[in-house]
Amino acid sequence: MPSLDYDIVLLPEEDIAAKAIRTSEELAPLGTEFTLSPTSPVPHVSLYMTRLKTDDLPEAEKRLAEIAARTPKMHLESDGYVQEEGYIDANYIRTSEAAQLQETIVQAINPLRDGLRPRDIPKLENATGLVRKNLETWGYRSVGELFRPHLTFTRFTRRQPIPLEDMGAPTAFSGRFLKLALFEMGPHGTCIRKIKEFPLQ
């Protein structure tokens, strides 16, 4: 039974997505690993990256649909840009609503998880503290206190930092997030193939 890596994400309203795609396109001449697009890879905020058996996708979809049906649309405020390991992101303030949604999703989907994502297996060997606990318990480091909502524009090939003063106000990426979605995950944490989306209420 095959397994693949998946990302459970929040999808932004069209205006935010369009701005993120334009920003990704503007950064591309600097040498990047990917450029966002309306179809693949898409702008998103990751909630839970996990490995699932393909046969378990219908059950995962059912659980996510139930969560979305009782979750209001979410407003997130971007308070700055972050550059780490070549990635450049719009960072969002972690609200209690976003944190609770992540916890609900992790609790619901983790029982279906098929071990660790291959990229996290070597990380576990050297992980300590809360990172190690999260990997062992949830198969994903960025859970709970380590959850940092963000929208990634791209990843630089040479991992070089860029002057953030040229990026404009991060508040341009504040706004509503309207849907949950389940995507097959590609390189660099990209969302490359939509499995299903679930409108928030």
pLDDT the model gives residue 115: 94
Contacts 24+ apart (CB under 8 A), 117-120: 117/5, 117/49, 117/50, 117/51, 118/5
pLDDT the model gives residue 124: 86
Residue 200 to residue 30: CA distance in whole angstroms: 36
pLDDT the model gives residue 166: 85
pLDDT the model gives residue 159: 87
User: pTM higher than 0.85, yes or no?
Assistant: yes
Tens of pLDDT, residues 29-80: 999 999 999 999 999 999 999 999 999 999 999 999 999 999 999 999 999 9
Encode 120-150: b = buried (16+ Cβ within 10 Å), e = exposed. Answer: beeeeeebeeebeebbeebbbbbbeeebebb
Which amino acid is it at 91? N
From residue 10, how far is each of 7, 13, 153, 199 by CA, in Å?
10, 10, 15, 10
The pLDDT mean for the chain works out to 96
The arithmetic mean of pLDDT across residues 111-129, rounded, is 92
Tens of pLDDT, residues 148-185: 999 999 999 998 888 888 899 999 999 999 999 999 99
Has residue 1 got a pLDDT over 80? no
Residues of the chain with pLDDT > 70, as a percent, come to: 100
Domain 3-199 in CATH 3.30.430.20: no
Tell me the pLDDT band of 190, cut-offs 50, 70 and 90: very high
pLDDT the model gives residue 164: 87
Which tokens hold the place of 172? Answer: 């341009």
